[in-house]
Amino acid sequence: MDDAFAKLPQPPYYAVIFSSRRNGEDDAGYGQAAQHMVDLASQQPGFLGVESTRGEDGFGITVSYWESEAAIAAWRQHAEHAATRAYGRTHWYQHYELRVAKVERAYGKRIGQQHITQERADQRRADEEPTST
Amino acid sequence: MDDAFAKLPQPPYYAVIFSSRRNGEDDAGYGQAAQHMVDLASQQPGFLGVESTRGEDGFGITVSYWESEAAIAAWRQHAEHAATRAYGRTHWYQHYELRVAKVERAYGKRIGQQHITQERADQRRADEEPTST
């Protein structure tokens, strides 16, 4: 199990893609608030999961997943979330972009414990990849 | 200007959300290939932009943006991209998830050079935030 990956149902569902550049200030306060927001979001109706990462350069992407646009709207209006967003805009971020999207297709692969030989990998490629010739 | 952020048109457009856990092997080869794929994608018809980041723990998110599903399908079938994906599945990743989504709404904010006073921030909050009372 890799908890960084959201465990999601089959599409369709909705994604909120939040890209941001931290301003380098108040790492402790930001970290605490970010974790608290994830905990709070997880308790909201319609929340499906979240994936988040940030590089050493301060640029980060967080994608939260929701059952419906109504669930996103309700979370947006959650009082503590709204207050934290307002605080974050002036204290933590240099720049951010937010995009709301409807996920239509999804697939993935977790490499198992077994060793994947090149032969099997080639076979899998033949099975899965559209040819381009 | 912050080149980490994609400069995108008004929605609608499409997003490919790729979450992955690196296996910690072949950093040099991976880095070179990843950059080459970004360069190559940028030349494809319908490519709009890309945002990407990876934390020190090896978990990363890359979101590429496209004009249409047809543009995504064409890029998926690009021979060099297909070969690199097949190689990456067995050599670079422990786990990955890919989701294709239609972006319906977007907004953002770049904090300007001017100092944002709390008074102005409060005013902005009053202007922008739906009240929750």
Q: Is residue B65 part of a domain?
A: yes
Q: Would you say B16 and B98 are in contact if contact means Cβ atoms under 8 Å apart?
A: yes
Q: Flag whether the ipTM exceeds 0.90.
A: no
Which residues 24-63 of A have a C-beta within 8 angstroms of B? Answer: 51-57, 59-61, 63
DSSP string, chain A: --TTS----SSPEEEEEEEEEE-S--HHHHHHHHHHHHHHHHTSTTEEEEEEEE-TTSEEEEEEEES-HHHHHHHHT-HHHHHHHHHHHHHTEEEEEEEEEEEEEEEEEE--SS---HHHHHHHHHHHSPP--
Domain count, chain A: 1
Provide, as residue numbers in chain B, all residues whose Cβ is less than 8 Å from the Cβ of A3.
Answer: none
- A108: tokens are 């993935």
Question: Which residue range forms the structural domain that includes residue B53?
Answer: 13-128
Which residues 83-102 of B have a C-beta within 8 angstroms of A? Answer: 85-86, 89-90, 93-102
Q: Is residue A104 part of a domain?
A: yes
Q: Is residue B78 part of a domain?
A: yes
User: pLDDT digits over B35-82, tens only?
Assistant: 999 999 999 999 999 999 999 999 999 999 999 999 999 999 999 999
Q: Is residue B103 part of a domain?
A: yes
- B63: tokens are 């979101």
Cβ of B86 within 8 Å of Cβ of A15? The answer is no
Q: Is residue A120 part of a domain?
A: no
Q: Is residue B118 part of a domain?
A: yes
Threshold 0.90, pTM exceeds: no
Q: Is residue B108 part of a domain?
A: yes
Provide, as residue numbers in chain B, all residues whose Cβ is less than 8 Å from the Cβ of A110.
Answer: 94-95
* CATH classification at residue A35: 3.30.70.100
Distance of CA A22 to the CA centre of its chain: 17
Per-residue pLDDT 10s for chain A (133 aa) are: 789 999 999 999 999 999 999 999 999 999 999 999 999 999 999 999 999 999 999 999 999 999 999 999 999 999 999 999 999 999 999 999 999 999 999 999 887 633 333 334 444 444 444 433 3
Min Cα–Cα distance to chain A from B68, Å: 13
Cβ of B93 within 8 Å of Cβ of A100? The answer is no
Q: Is residue A39 part of a domain?
A: yes
**Residue B62, Cβ neighbours under 10 Å: how many?**
19
pLDDT of residue B110: 85
